[in-house]
Structure 1
Amino acid sequence: MNWGQALRDYESYLKIERGLSENSIASYLLDLQKLTDYLNQHEINVSPVQIEQETVQKFIYDIAKTINPRSQARIISGLKGFFNYLIFEDYRTDNPMDLIESPKIGRKLPDTLSTDEINALIAAIDLSKPEGERNRAILETLYGCGLRVSELIHLKLSDLYFDEDFIKVTGKGNKQRFVPISSVNKKYINIYRNEIRNHLQIQKDHKDYLFLNRRGKQLTRAMIFTIIKQLAIKIGMEKNISPHTFRHSFATHLLENGADLRAIQQMLGHESITTTEVYMHVNRVHLVKVLSKFHPRK
């Protein structure tokens, strides 16, 4: 088995067996490509079945000189998964990554926006342009429902259950969940649908997608990033924000206002509660308020 065949088979496995998104698969393959590039560069002629710990360890050592610990940990994790796959398929009996430790990294706390900052970003949208109503609906949905950017751009008209106050969201691994939606959020989506979207020349394969560009096609991830970056520049915001910042803010603000962590987990679509627990970084002032409000010895 050569590297090209192994990567193609692994890609199929990640897509069909694991049900991962295209973006996740691309990240895994990119990290594996770094290993194959390293082997080619150093003229190391060894197959995925034959490669030994010493070679992989030298690769990790060399790449650690040019990337940060978090990226290094991601690559190590990805390589472990790849070699575990080879073991699962009976190509190998051992994992050359078993004795290679990831660098110690602290859990990165997500950046958040205050409600005033979110309001300022939305207020900066130019509603005199057709895309203004769309952009307002986008930001309201990112913050109001805590969606990932990939979930937002794939949101469809058929996913809107406004009478029941829910939307259906397709998350990682094509797993679906229902997320509640507020009357404010529904209001701005309906304005966009009725006043802007209805007047677009919508392309045949894009008729069910909610958020469209001026050519009547589904928006891209890059376009959502651009919209947010431009608004941040417009109001002079110094924070480096992205669509995910609205998701973090959604979870943090719910937690600060007393929402149950399990409920937040379900709305975010996290498989494990430990992923949601990163939002427990609420400030000390809030914790003092919680203690004084709920403890019997206040």
Structure 2
Amino acid sequence: MINNPYLKSFKTYLRLERALSRNSIDAYLNDIGNLTQYLDLSNKYTNIKQVTPSDLKSFISWANELGMLPSTQARVISGLKSFFGFLLLEQITDTDPTAMIEAPRLSRKLPDILNLLEINSLIDAVDASRPGGMRNKTIIEVLYGCGLRVSELVNLKISEVYEDEGFIKVIGKGNAERLVPIGSSALKLLKIYLHEIRVHNKIKEGYQDYIFLNNSGKNLSRIYVFKTIKALAEKAGINKSISPHTFRHSFATHLIEGGADLRAVQEMLGHVSITTTEIYTHLDRSYLKEVITTFHPRS
């Protein structure tokens, strides 16, 4: 029987970090269960880490023979990508067998974003007088000010911050490096945190270079950042579905709405394809209407 001991931690990841609904989580887990059952029938492996792209394509073809709709196929592939991406993120595997598997093209769901007032209310909801308060305030400023993924944030190093130049070096997906400008508000808070708050922390050996530390002197977990932001959103009275990724969406949307070049935003986000960045051009209908009104000769 194939060994798949990672479903419990994957479920926690989907619930806390991806903020998926219970129905979506159940569907993803069911899809992974079907994959495990399919592999069991093939009698090829004893460990989920041995799965190859060919196995996954065969599984999808097998599922298609059951009359799967394109929307269902897209969800199944999304679940597979999430699961093997999770294994890669947790360093359980070092390859992703779903990398070359494409889902059928469907209309893309636009992500929730925060306006500037909502972002300010989140920052104001942080009690800076409490332990970790200035750190958490800085986290929000850096997430929004640089458009980082949460995994990039928790692994950010002091040696990767260039204060005088106003840039940070970010290690993104696939260990790809990029330089991202850091806004003045984020940089100001980061300097205060680094030079006035963090210097008083007791730091564990091997974690001296990590910027954001927990009470044990180690770098923060992704789940901690997610829980903190959810709590702050509730305190600020924001009813949107919010995660650390919301700040990345907001960062990109606000830049493009302000007239930033799409290629520049792509570079700052670390997107391999410009089509991934282009979703942010469709978020603000009032902005698009304003563009037509301002620039179209018949308007």
Q: TM-score range by the shorter chain?
A: 0.7 to 0.9
Contact 1:76 1:102 in 2 (8 A): no
Question: Taking structure 1 as reference, are residues 77 and 145 closer, same or farther at Cα in structure 2, changes over 3 Å only?
Answer: closer
Q: Which amino acid aligns with 2:139?
A: I
Where structure 2 has 5 or more consecutive residues not aligned to the other structure, the ranges are 5-16, 18-28, 46-50, 84-100
Partner in structure 2 of residue 184 of structure 1: 185
1:127/1:133 contact within 8 Å kept: yes
Question: Displacement of 1:102 after TM fit?
Answer: 4.8
Amino acid across the alignment from 1:107? R
Per-residue CA distance 1:52-106 (angstroms, 9 max, x = gap)? 98875444677979x9654313257799xxxxxxxxxxxxxxxxxxxx9955532
Q: Helix, strand or coil: the match of 1:130?
A: coil
Quote how far apart the aligned CAs of 1:215 are: 1.4
How far residue 284 of structure 1 moved from its aligned partner, in angstroms, is 2.8
Q: Which deviates further from its counterpart, 259-268 or 192-201?
A: 192-201
Local SS of the residue matching 2:132: helix
Is 1:74 the counterpart of 2:60 in the alignment? no
1:240 aligns with 2:244: no
Q: Equivalent pairs: percent with the same residue?
A: 50
Aligned to 1:37: 37
Per-residue CA deviation, residues 215-235 of structure 1 (Å, 9 max, x unaligned), is: 110001101101101111112
Residue aligning to 1:195? 196
Contact 1:160/1:166 (CA < 8 Å) preserved in 2?
yes
Corresponding residue for residue 215 of structure 1: 216
Q: How many residues are paired up?
A: 252
Deviation at 1:44, TM superposition (A): 4.8
Contact kept in structure 1, 2:148 and 2:248, CA below 8 Å? yes
Compared with structure 1, are the counterparts of its residues 210 and 34 closer, same or farther at alpha carbon in structure 2 (3 Å cutoff)? Answer: farther
1:259 aligned partner, one-letter code? A
Report what 1:288 is aligned to.
Answer: 289
Q: Which residue of 2 is the match for residue 97 of structure 1?
A: none
Alignment partners' CA distance in 1, 2:56 and 2:250 = 44
Q: 1:285 to 1:73 in 2, by over 3 A?
A: same
Q: Does 1:133 align with 2:134?
A: yes
Q: 1:292 to 1:247 in 2, by over 3 A?
A: same
Q: Residue 108 of structure 1 corresponds to which residue in structure 2? A: 109
Q: Partner letter of residue 105 of structure 1?
A: L
Determine if the alignment matches structure 1 residue 173 to structure 2 residue 174: yes
Report deviation, 1:110: 1.3
The residue matched to 1:196 in structure 2 has which SS?
helix
Mapped partners of 1:182, 1:53: distance in 2? 44
Q: Secondary structure at the match of 1:173?
A: helix
Q: Deviations over 1:116-168 (max 9, x none)?
A: 11111110001111201000000000000000001101100000011111100
Cα pair 2:35 2:59 within 8 Å, conserved: no
**Residues 200 and 61 (structure 1 numbering): CA distance in 2 closer, same or farther, change over 3 Å?**
farther
Q: TM-score, normalised by structure 1?
A: 0.73
Q: Structure 1: how far apart are the matches of 2:211 and 2:149?
A: 15
Asked whether the equivalents of residues 110 and 283 of structure 2 are also in contact (C-alpha less than 8 Å), the reply is no
Q: Residue 115 of structure 2 aligns to which amino acid in structure 1?
A: S
Q: 1:55 to 1:128 in 2, by over 3 A?
A: closer
In structure 1, what residue type is equivalent to 2:275?
A: T
Counterpart of 1:26? Answer: none
Q: Name structure 1 gaps, 5 residues minimum.
A: 8-22, 24-29, 80-99
CA–CA separation in structure 2 for the residues paired with 1:107 and 1:70: 11
d(CA) in 1 for partners of 2:243, 2:56 = 40
Q: 1:149/1:52 Cα in 2 relative to 1: closer, same or farther (>3 Å)?
A: closer
Matched with 2:268 is 267
- With the length of structure 2 as denominator, give the TM-score of the two structures: 0.73
- Specify the alignment match of 1:163 in structure 2: 164
